[in-house]
């Protein structure tokens, strides 16, 4: 009598893993490339959001600085008029 294949390997011994094929390697490479592309896209989106936020903050800062300069100029003109009256 011949022993069953499971008995030849021994009880509890896992079956040998199938050798990787070119097709499975190509699929794995495509999958990894898709993951990398998605990760890169996410990083680009995050960068764009940060750049847009920074630009908005700079615009707000410039607007406040312009307002401050206008206020200082007005105050300076008022002071000059008071001095001229004395």
pLDDT in tens, the chain (86 residues): 455 555 555 555 555 555 567 788 889 999 999 999 999 999 999 999 999 999 999 999 999 999 999 999 999 999 999 999 88
Alpha helices (runs of H) in the chain, residue ranges in sequence order:
5-9, 22-85
pLDDT of 14: 59
Its pTM stands at 0.53
Exposure string over 72-85, b if 16+ CB within 10 A, otherwise e: eeeeeeeeeeeeee
pLDDT of 71: 97
9 Cβ partners below 8 Å, 6+ apart? Answer: 15
């Amino acid at each position: 009598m011949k022993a069953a294949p499971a008995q030849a390997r021994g009880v509890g011994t896992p079956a040998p893993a199938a050798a990787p094929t070119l097709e499975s390697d190509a699929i794995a490479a495509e999958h990894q490339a898709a993951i990398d592309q998605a990760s890169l896209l996410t990083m680009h989106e995050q960068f764009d959001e940060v750049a847009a936020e920074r630009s908005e903050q700079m615009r707000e800062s410039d607007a406040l600085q312009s307002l401050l300069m206008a206020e200082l100029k007005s105050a300076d003109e008022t002071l000059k008029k008071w001095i001229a009256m004395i």
